[in-house]
């Protein structure tokens, strides 16, 4: 059966890989990011492979923008019953230098964004008697220097996920979180720049700390998302899966 999946922050990186994977799994995919035009590469990759996708522009931290985006998806693709809350930003700084805006921006996109998107989409899942929600947490939820805002948001994602699992389970809706370790994307490339390393040096340094001996790829995370979103995964809910090349938690 073709379901409609909505993936936020899907113009690039992990979100783009998840969108491509959910499309190859047979779902029609709404590729959502801040700027609809930036979603073209992801949409084109999906359609070139024979899948169905549309680009949707929205700011997940803005309630009106989220409501409009979900209405647009319903109109153009159908009611979404798979939601991946992946959109994210970094505003790293040590606590004593972290501004109010650094805090609010990060909590706003990750936590408020996941809340607004989940609230807007759940009614379609309840109507369908089926839903899959996947939230992107991070190994930073366990604590990470320079990321008080991000770690708080990513730990918050885990409590949010478990609560959705409890509230929505009776409607056939599961909610799970993926906590990636080090994944090679524009986000980690920006971190390398900030600390004055080339991306290659950063990848080599990161791989030394990872039991499987390499950095992760967006496709590694997409594989986990595919499992959580599958029809047959209906008894797996409220879980946090660390996808980090070794044990975490
Ligand atoms: P990225 O920076 O490459 O992509 C994030 C996407 O989210 C961008 O396309 C951006 O435009 C979009 N976005 C940002 N704010 C938005 C908003 N308000 N509304 C809609 N879209 C917005 O990041 P990456 O690496 O692909 O990360 C994806 C998710 O995975 C994030 O939640 C991140 O925190 C998480 N993650 C990433 C890890 C990594 O090592 N790259 C590790 C652990 C978690």
Fold of 4-181+216-243: Rossmann fold (3.40.50)
Give yes or no for residue 89 CB within 6 A of ligand 1. yes
What is the model's pLDDT at position 196? 93
Predicted TM-score (pTM) of the model is: 0.98
Cα–Cα distance measured from residue 16 to residue 2, given in angstroms and rounded to the nearest whole number: 19
Instruction: Pick the residue whose CA is nearest to atom 33 on ligand 1.
Output: 88
Name the pLDDT band for 249 (thresholds 50, 70, 90). Answer: confident
Atom of ligand 1 nearest to the CA of 62: 18
Give yes or no for residue 9 CB within 6 A of ligand 1. yes
Name the pLDDT band for 1 (thresholds 50, 70, 90). Answer: confident
What is the model's pLDDT at position 182? 97
CA of 30 to the centre of ligand 1 (A): 16
Contacts of 200 (CB under 8 A, 6+ apart): none
Characterize 92-125 residue by residue with b for buried, 16 or more Cβ atoms within 10 angstroms of its Cβ, and e for exposed: bbeeeebeeebbebbbbbbbbbbbbbbebbbebb
Give yes or no for residue 15 CB within 6 A of ligand 1. yes
CA of 125 to the centre of ligand 1 (A): 24
User: Stretch 185-200: mean pLDDT, rounded?
Assistant: 94
Instruction: Pick the residue whose CA is nearest to atom 44 on ligand 1.
Output: 138
What is the model's pLDDT at position 194? 87
Contact of 187 with 88, CB cutoff 8 Å: yes
What is the model's pLDDT at position 2? 92
* Whether 150 is catalytic: yes
Name the nearest CA neighbour of 132 among 217, 63, 232, 240. Answer: 232
User: Stretch 3-19: mean pLDDT, rounded?
Assistant: 98
Name the pLDDT band for 243 (thresholds 50, 70, 90). Answer: very high
| The pLDDT of residue 38 is above 90 | yes
User: Stretch 59-74: mean pLDDT, rounded?
Assistant: 98
What is the model's pLDDT at position 126? 98
Mean of pLDDT over the chain? 98
Give yes or no for residue 146 CB within 6 A of ligand 1. no
The proportion of the chain whose per-residue pLDDT surpasses 70, expressed as a percent, equals 100
User: Stretch 206-213: mean pLDDT, rounded?
Assistant: 97
Give yes or no for residue 60 CB within 6 A of ligand 1. yes
What is the model's pLDDT at position 92? 96
Active-site residue identified among 130, 150, 182, 228: 150
Name the pLDDT band for 29 (thresholds 50, 70, 90). Answer: very high
What is the model's pLDDT at position 85? 99
Instruction: Pick the residue whose CA is nearest to atom 34 on ligand 1.
Output: 88
What is the model's pLDDT at position 161? 99
CA of 74 to the centre of ligand 1 (A): 24
Give yes or no for residue 11 CB within 6 A of ligand 1. yes
What is the model's pLDDT at position 99? 98
Residue 239's SS3 state is coil
What is the model's pLDDT at position 128? 98
| The pLDDT of residue 131 is above 90 | yes
Cα–Cα distance measured from residue 5 to residue 22, given in angstroms and rounded to the nearest whole number: 7
Strand extents, DSSP E, 47-107: 53-57, 80-85
User: Stretch 92-104: mean pLDDT, rounded?
Assistant: 98
């Amino acid at each position: 059966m073709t379901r409609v999946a909505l993936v936020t922050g899907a113009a690039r990186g992990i979100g783009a890989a998840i969108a491509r994977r959910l499309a190859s799994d047979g779902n029609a995919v709404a590729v959502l990011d801040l700027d609809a035009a930036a979603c073209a590469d992801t949409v084109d990759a999906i359609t070139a492979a024979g899948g169905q996708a549309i680009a949707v522009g929205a700011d997940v931290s803005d309630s009106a923008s989220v409501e409009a985006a979900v209405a647009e998806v319903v109109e153009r693709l159908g009611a979404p019953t798979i939601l991946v809350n992946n959109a994210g930003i970094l505003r790293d700084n040590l606590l004593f230098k972290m501004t109010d805006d650094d805090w609010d921006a990060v909590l706003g996109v990750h936590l408020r964004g996941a809340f607004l998107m989940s609230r807007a989409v759940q009614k379609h899942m309840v109507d369908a008697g089926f839903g899959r929600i996947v939230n992107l947490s991070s190994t930073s939820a366990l604590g990470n220097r320079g990321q008080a805002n991000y770690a708080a948001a990513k730990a918050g994602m885990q409590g949010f996920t478990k609560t959705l699992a409890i509230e929505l389970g009776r409607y056939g809706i599961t909610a799970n979180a993926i906590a990636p370790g080090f994944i090679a994307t524009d986000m980690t490339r920006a971190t390398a720049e900030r600390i004055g390393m080339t991306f290659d040096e950063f990848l080599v340094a990161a791989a030394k700390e990872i039991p499987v001996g390499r950095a992760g790829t967006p496709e590694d995370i997409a594989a986990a998302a595919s499992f959580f979103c599958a029809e047959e995964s209906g008894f797996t809910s409220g879980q946090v899966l660390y996808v980090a090349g070794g044990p975490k938690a």
